[in-house]
Amino acid sequence: MTLFDAFRYDGKRALVVGGASGMGAATAELLQDAGAEVVVMDFADVTLPGAKAIQVNLADAASIDAAVDELGGQVDTLFSCAGVADGTPGIEKINFIGHRHLIDRLLAKHMLPRGSAIGFISSAEGLGWEANLPLLNELLDTPDFDSAARWVQEHGKADYMSMKQAICAYVARQAFPLLKEGIRINAICPGPTDTPLAQANKEMWLGFGSDYRGEVGVEASTPLLQRLGDRWPGVLAETRRLLRSAVTDAERSTRATSSSMVMWVSLSSGRIGPVNCGLVGTTWPNRSSSPGPDRLKSGTAAPTCALWPAADTV
Ligand SMILES: NC(=O)c1ccc[n+]([C@@H]2O[C@H](COP(=O)([O-])OP(=O)(O)OC[C@H]3O[C@@H](n4cnc5c(N)ncnc54)[C@H](O)[C@@H]3O)[C@@H](O)[C@H]2O)c1
């Protein structure tokens, strides 16, 4: 048995929101390779053969409701990938509020059963969310799509960083209540990744961190596509090496995406194992030490993936 076999999705139904392009598309392909039945929701056309495509506009609550109705049954795993850049009208809805509404609808309709999992793509821009938790909690306290959208407008927070921080805070806050329902949730916070979205905002998105990438001689990450399966053992070995060693922040950030993809898919593979605690949005224990159950209960940390080996066993 290969390591990839251990992460297979045979018999699982996976929903990828934002799976028409970039990291979401790579995730959808990888899930198919791993045996999942894949449903892709996106505003753009979905070209992945064999995937059920459902059109959705995350900026429109009615469109989300219709898309969930079209889903027609439970999903074992939800990947919330869709996102847009600063300057896009409705960014607050597309990047956070719409995703939250979609999850609320799935929960209300009992479409996320025990053992299911939710994986979000936040961003390195979302890091530092803890410092803004009181304000972010006000947003999270809003009960629905419209009130959340109103709050964002009133507080001038319709921007990329605020909505990525909102994802991190949401994931941390929901981790414990959802876990009581047997549902895991976490987010990754990728750094620059060469996708259509990043190319459209190349100077800023791919320029970020280019100084240290230049010095250490590495390129921006890529979504990895289906070849990850072949490379999996190497990626895991590399991740273990990073966990063992005290890496510098720069090194950690540079390598984040390749390792996070392992984390990303394993997070949602739907198998419940021992829950290991890690900070939301990080791909391995980060600057602080593992927070433990107290932070999980207080809503400031999320469980990492079930299949991920605990740091002390790596
Ligand atoms: N590329 C990077 O450097 C980078 C870094 C950190 C985080 N991210 C995040 O990763 C995620 C994926 O981004 P990507 O770089 O793969 O970009 P991408 O543009 O390739 O993919 C984003 C997807 O979201 C979909 N989408 C946009 N508006 C939508 C709407 N209104 N309703 C439904 N779907 C909509 C797009 O059609 C597209 O398929 C985003 O959340 C992004 O913020 C990207």
Kindly give the distance from the C-alpha atom of residue 146 to the centroid of ligand 1, in angstroms, as a whole number: 22
Residue 268 has pLDDT above 50, yes or no: no
Residue 312 C-alpha to ligand 1 middle, in angstroms? 34
Amino acid, single-letter form, for residue 98: G
At 20-55, the pLDDT tens digits run 998 899 889 888 988 999 999 999 999 999 999 999
33 phi/psi in degrees, rounded to 5: -55, -35
- Is the overall model pTM greater than 0.85, yes or no? no
Which of 268 and 203 is assigned the larger pLDDT?
203
Task: Locate the ligand 1 atom nearest the alpha carbon of residue 220 and give its number.
Answer: 3
CA of 83 to the centre of ligand 1 (A): 4
pLDDT at residue 253 above 50? Answer: no
Question: How far apart, in whole angstroms, are the C-alpha atoms of residue 277 and residue 296?
Answer: 8
Q: Are 36 and 59 contacting, i.e. CB atoms less than 8 angstroms apart?
A: no
**Could you tell me the distance, in angstroms and rounded to a whole number, from the CA of residue 289 to the centre of ligand 1?**
30
161 has a pLDDT exceeding 70: yes
User: The tokens 């060693």 sit on which residue?
Assistant: 245
What whole-number distance in Å separates Cα of residue 77 and Cα of residue 118? Answer: 6
The pick from 80, 127, 197 for probing ligand 1's pocket by mutation, whose C-beta has the most ligand atoms within 8 angstroms, reads 197
* Residue 312 within any structural domain of the chain: no
If one compares 289 and 27, the residue with the highest pLDDT of the two is 27
Residue range(s) defining the domain that contains residue 166:
3-306
CATH code of the domain in which 300 resides: 3.40.50.720
The mean predicted confidence, pLDDT, of the chain is 76
Task: Give the closest residue (by CA) to ligand 1 atom 10.
Answer: 121
- From residue 68, give the alpha-carbon distance in Å to each of 39, 82, 231, 243, 309: 11, 16, 34, 39, 34
d(CA 178, CA 154) in angstroms, rounded, equals: 29
Instruction: Report which protein residue has its CA nearest ligand 1's atom 6.
Output: 123
- Mean pLDDT lowest for which of 8-17, 58-67, 135-144, 277-286? 277-286
CA of 163 from ligand 1 middle (Å) equals 13
54 or 255, higher pLDDT? 54
Show Cβ contacts of residue 248 under 8 Å, excluding neighbours closer than 6 positions.
none
SS3 45: coil
pLDDT bucket at 298, cuts 50 / 70 / 90: low
18 within some domain = yes
199 domain-assigned: yes
Residue 168 belongs to a domain? yes
Of 63, 65, 81, 208, the one to substitute when testing ligand 1's pocket (max ligand atoms within 8 A of C-beta) is: 81
User: Strand 302-303 and strand 277-278: pairing?
Assistant: antiparallel
Residue 155 lies in a domain: yes
- Domain assignment of residue 314, yes or no: no
CB under 6 Å to ligand 1: residues? Answer: 18, 20-24, 42-44, 56-59, 81-84, 94, 121, 123, 190, 192-193, 195-198, 205
Q: What is the three-class DSSP state of 79?
A: strand
Average pLDDT over residues 12-21: 95
Q: Could you report the per-residue pLDDT of 82-125, keeping only the tens digit for each?
A: 999 999 999 999 999 999 999 999 999 999 999 899 999 998 88
Atom of ligand 1 nearest to the CA of 19: 39
Number of domains forming the structure of the chain: 1
Residue 313 located in a structural domain:
no
